[in-house]
Structure 1
Amino acid sequence: MSYTSLTAALLGAALFAPVVQAQTSYPLTIENCGVQVTFDAAPETAVTVGQAGTEVLYALGLGDKVAGTSVWFTEVLPEYAALNADIERLADNDPSFESVVDKRPDIVVAQYEWHIGPQGIVATREQFTDLGIPTYVLPADCWAKDNSTGSDGTRLAMFEMDSIYAGVTQLAQIFDVSEKGAAMVADLKAREAAAIEKATALDLQDASAVFWFSSTEMDIDPYVAGRKGPPGYMMEKLGLRNVVESDEEWPVVSWESIARANPSVIVVAEMDRRRFEADDVEKKLEFLRTDPVASQMDAVKNNRIVILNAHSMDPSIRNVTALETLAGALPEFDLQ
């Protein structure tokens, strides 16, 4: 179930009200991606299905509550490497329902509805509820987004960082660490504003970009960022026009179409995952240099290529770091 823009705005306003910084009163009932979830006390154990949720819990100082993790795109943030090394990884990719349940968690935190949702490939939320296990899906995956269409869902409105801040705030409330959540959100907001200000000073008029996440085969059309997901938000804030016009999260677009659009900048994802050949960033770069179509783009000829951590292209607290990286790279490209 997806939120409308109005619902998202109302949720954001409610989450950021001063009351959330108070000590949490239990039982706590929240609405999460259209599902009512009740917590009788702060969870003592958690399992995460998705790197974004894992890193939020670590950042909130809740690593000791995490009994198992799964769905990893890249290495954990360096500051959490030692902590993460001592926590069981149930799977690099999709965990089984049984492996999650075997940890007997007080909460399962999911990054995507396609893992835990109406057609969840791990399980539905009802399957966990039947076992007395509450689930929480990060709001960014259902905030003005329809997950019933497109391989990764379709955005109904532009991605907002408020959806990330909402997830941080609400998880902090669930675990009764609201003050930590408020401080974390304040820091992220300040960094976001500074990066946008830096890029705005460039006053770009006709610069464009494409974000390449991966491809199932090197010679097959790539998965690139649609215009309303986190990369679309970054491009809009930094004064770049997205050459991809689809509202799907990661549509497949031909290299011929991308080359005709001739983006000023190409942003490529770097990841540790090796599900597809093009997950390897070095193979991406080699393709851009040697493919008879892609190699003719101005961005390739002039080496206007930015490498970003793949996880920072999906909704996560890393979006702010990606924004900072792009804002720092653009001045070197002499764009108009």
Structure 2
Amino acid sequence: MQPRLKFYFSAGAALIALWPAAPVLAQTDYPLILENCGVTQTFLAAPESVVSAGQASTEILYSLGLGEKVTGTSVWFTEVLPEFAGLNAGIERLADNDASFESIVAKRPGLVTAQYEWHIGPQGIIATREQFADLQIPTYILPSDCIGKDNSAGSDGTRLQPYDMAGIYQGITELARIFDVTDRGQALVAALREREAAAVAQAEALQLDGTSAVFWFSSAEMDIDPYVAGNGGAPAWMMASLGLRNVVESAEEWPVVSWETIARADPDVIVIARMDRRRFEADDHLKKLAFLQSDPVASQMKAVRNGNIVIIDAHAMDPLIRNIAALEALAAALADLDLK
């Protein structure tokens, strides 16, 4: 049976259209003092400009209508959300990956935002927050990379608590306060929460009753153990939100698990990542599909036999606003799958 393939898309443009209907709230009362990932930052006024090191923070700034303040971006994982393609084309990309400290400082930004603490943090590969502070440049790291997470060892860090959208919503709210667009932040969070609730309700109506799943991100080589989602990151949040049981019991975000172990768990649904990068052969989702259908072990899983395979953008498996679109796509796909 051919797998039922589902790709997700974003509806970010619809969120922007909601702003005029949002209630106008009190303006930000400066000086604004925020505790951000263990660092106290004081803002005397809304920053005139911002440089972003991380696609997640860039797309939040765009979603808040702050694109005219963004003077440089870096750390890109995939194409920008379609509704921001024109805007993004007119903004300087300092680097596809890690911009240099010097290139960011040269833009004289009023704020530098980051998606991950390992880019701008205690061991920041771009710089430490203290280095920026010495130049009187405030920094802001998305709380989703700090809340319930220990980043002291390794680039990925260790989640001490399961991920949920609270850190993303906090990041939207706080960036809106920093730039004195509180009404836009509240409207964006409200719209995302509404979409999240609708996706959950759609899945609840299916009465999945512990339907099992596995998220396959990639593999260093096609015929060795894959990187799959454990119980710490965004895919685990998606599964828990929709009533799916993760067959991978590891507390790590992306553990390596053998196909024999996965096959013994025999998941009802397999979610595979589609990505632009080609670091590994298995980054290609078409090769993932071919492997599942031809491997002697993987091909015997009921998810493969029944065609219960869903394709989701790999970047949506990281903590960011795209998690909501991915949640919606997964909920819609579940309604179409053969889960009897």
Alignment of 1:153 with 2:157, yes or no, is yes
**Residue 120 of structure 2 corresponds to residue 116 of structure 1:** yes
- What does 1:179-328 correspond to in 2, within 5 Å? 179-328=183-332
1:275 deviates by: 3.3
Instruction: Quote the Cα distance in structure 2 between the aligned partners of 1:74 and 1:171.
Output: 23
Matches within 5 A, 1:49-198: 49-149=53-153, 152-198=156-202
Contact kept? 2:57, 2:115, Cα under 8 Å? yes
The alpha carbon displacement at 1:217 in A equals 3.0
The one-letter code of the counterpart of 1:249 is E
State the partner residue of 2:16: none
8 Å Cα contact 2:230-2:253 kept in structure 1: yes
1:334 is aligned, of 321, 335, 338, to 338
Give distance in 1, aligned partners of 2:257 and 2:102: 37
Paired residue secondary structure (1:90): coil
Q: Note closer, same or farther for the CA distance 1:220–1:99 as it changes in structure 2 (3 Å cut).
A: farther
TM-score by length of 2: 0.88
**Equivalent-residue separation in structure 1 for 2:101 and 2:174 (angstroms):** 25
Counterpart CA distance in 2 for 1:247 and 1:184 is 31
CA distance in 1, matches of 2:227, 2:24: 41
Of 318-327 and 242-251, more deviation after overlay is shown by: 242-251
Going from structure 1 to structure 2, the CA distance change for 1:250 and 1:101 (only over 3 Å counts) comes to farther
Give, as a single letter, the amino acid of the residue that structure 1 aligns with 2:125: I
Q: Which stretches in structure 1 are left out of the alignment for 5+ residues?
A: 1-17
Q: Are the equivalent residues in 2 in contact too, given 1:223–1:251 (CA < 8 A)?
A: yes
* Structure 1 residue 76: Cα displacement: 0.9
> 1:276, CA displacement in angstroms?
3.2
Q: Deviations over 1:161-212 (max 9, x none)?
A: 1211111000000111000000111111111111100101111123111112
Name the stretch that deviates more: 144-153 or 86-95.
144-153
Residues 94/224 of structure 1: CA separation in 2 closer, same or farther (3 Å cut): farther
Change (3 A) 1:280 1:88: farther
Relative contact order: is structure 1 or structure 2 higher (C-alpha 8 Å, sep ≥ 6)? 2
Letter paired with 1:303: G
Letter in 2 for 1:198: Q
Deviation at 1:149, TM superposition (A): 4.6
Q: Partners in 2 of 1:213 and 1:188 — Cα distance? A: 25
Q: Are the structure 2 counterparts of residues 104 and 151 from structure 1 closer, same or farther at C-alpha, using a change threshold of 3 Å?
A: closer
Shift of 1:151: 5.2
In structure 2, distance between residues paired with 1:273 and 1:100: 25
Which one of 37, 56, 65 corresponds to residue 33 of structure 1?
Answer: 37
Aligned residues: 318
Q: CA deviation at 1:291?
A: 2.8
Deviating more after overlay: 51-60 vs 143-152: 143-152
- Contact 1:152 1:250 (8 Å CA) reproduced: no
RMSD: 1.9
Structure 2 unaligned residues grouped into runs of 5+? 1-22
- Secondary structure of the structure 2 residue equivalent to 1:186: helix
Matched position secondary structure for 2:94 = strand
**1:107-131 Cα distance to aligned partner (Å, 9 max, x none):** 1111111211222222222222222
SS at match of 2:99: coil
Q: TM-score, normalised by structure 1?
A: 0.89
The 3-state SS of whatever aligns with 1:38 is strand
On the 8 A contact 1:152/1:248 being kept in 2, the answer is no
Distance 1:221 1:133 in 2: 44
Give secondary structure in 2 for the equivalent of 1:323. Answer: helix
Which residue matches 2:17?
A: none
Q: CA offsets per residue over residues 15-52 of structure 1, 9 Å max, x none? A: xxx998x2112221100111111222211111111111
